[in-house]
Chain A
Amino acid sequence: MGDLIVVDNLTRMFGSFTAIKDVSFSFDSGSIFGFIGPNGAGKTTTMRILSTLDIATTGDAFINGYSVIDEPDKVRSMIGFMPDYYGAPKNMTIKDYLDFFARAYLLKGEKRRKSVEYVIDFMDMKKIQDKHVVTLSKGMKQRLCLGRALIHDPKILILDEPAAGLDPRARIELRELLKILAERGKAILISSHILTELSELCDSCAIIEQGKILSHGNVNEIQESLQLNNKSLPVISLSLLEPNEDILIHLNEIPFVEQVEEITKGKKFKLKVNGNKNQIPQILKNLIDSGYLVMEFKLEGQNLEDLFLNITKGEVQ
């Protein structure tokens, strides 16, 4: 595989406990890969191995062709890792903090000054650059942590739950930042519990539970494979512009509609459809042809959150 990141059968044991088992996936630059799983699934363990902080018991991972086990030094300058904890050193300003890490990545002179400035600008921290790191709010610390991961302009970003604890605005900002970074050709691995967010952001994803990958691939592919396995009937949510008393009778007459549930009287409904996917547009056509003013017509159970609940069993390790 020519992918930038190839994870090949990683297994990590802590004593006799298997934290992850035969985890494999791969993705390429310019894409955002979502890593989804409940607490204790092994996301952090996998990410720590990828960022050369920990070592796999068996298996290997390759970053740009370099093994994280045999050539960790070569891997390190290519990755920026943002952990899920935010320790802050005392008596250090944001600028000093970034400057220190820039030095640690062996950036010198003008180059170092520029990259520190660039990160401060990019993360929009110009106004607070002289604030002490310990005094920052959680959201700000997270922002700084992402900035730190970017300081040496790595090809790959490994972000462990970067959105945890952020307010909605900060989340949207983070999402925008990540999109920009992906457009600039970075490969981003991101883990999260906040699934709705990842469904919009990620190109592909892996769902992990109890250390095993349950499903892996393109977000749409996963959705499709799931729907094939899904035995329950598809549900459509329907809402009209104006309440209409007659529609209930009409809906019950449509051939593929198995069951109608009225949510708001004459306005909002949930339809259970009996039949294959091709028949769903027929229902919409039918309604429009009959002159109903349809505001919303949506197949439910298709976002990642629902997929997630479908796939995982909710067993905490």
Chain B
Amino acid sequence: MSAYVVTIATLMVVQAIAVCGLNVIVGYAGQISLGHAAFFGIGAYSTAVLTTKLGISFWTALPLVIGISALIGLLLGLPSLRVREDFLAITTIGINFIVEAVFRYVPFFGGALGIGGIPRVMFFGVRLKGIPFFLLCLGFLVLVLLICWWLTRSWASLACYAIREEEAAASTMGISPVRFKLLAFVIGTAMAGLGGSLYAHYMQFISAGDFSFPISVGFLAMLVLGGMGTLWGPVVGTLILGILPELFRPLVDYRIFFYTLLLLLMIRFQPGGLLGENSFARKIITPLLKGLRK
């Protein structure tokens, strides 16, 4: 594999981890978030600060990083998730801009220069880069997918589905909407934090712009394209939207426009995403698979 391919593949896997987290919030619990990149950034900046300023390793920092992301998710989610659903989109956009501004203007976070010199991940004395680091990220993605799968069979996710479908009815069945929305939000932001941490150690240099609002729109576009609430949707969506811009290099500058357009089109014509039930992709693929089995 060329270095170029490894770079693209690693970044896609890292993003897929964050999109899996977004799926728990948006897909499972039905709470729209347009500020997911903020939590991706919180994970990246936490690990950057911990490893460069305190000199601790990626592995020691990791539980702290996930904890910090989840805690900030809890603190920001608590007031946000109490507002009406249509305000939540606005509130989460606001969170994204505020968090980005904090990174950009607070000297502690390196200001406009960002933070550089983030160490590579050590694994049994080996400095991971290239394919080995890609495999590490892939391992984390598998872990996140396993957690997501395990979540779907839990009462907690059943409660989240019920809130997503009919909040009033769910509440008359003993489900506290605020508690379970918050739970989904915290799990989702923790996964974003994990993705952000891997991103920081891969790039070794991060700045506020890496976690701006367009990145959040991109995450949401990946999720909606792949299929909200499905297990593999985040992976499929991230793969497609990760590869497409590479094929159409000149379009990179118009990415945000493309993402937004895609989001609107998907929500209008295929709200379930490519892996959703009754999607056109499924209608094409299922008979093909059946044909193959014969």
Q: Do A and B come from one complex?
A: no
**Chain A interface residues (CB < 8 Å from chain B):** none
**Chain B interface residues (CB < 8 Å from chain A):** none
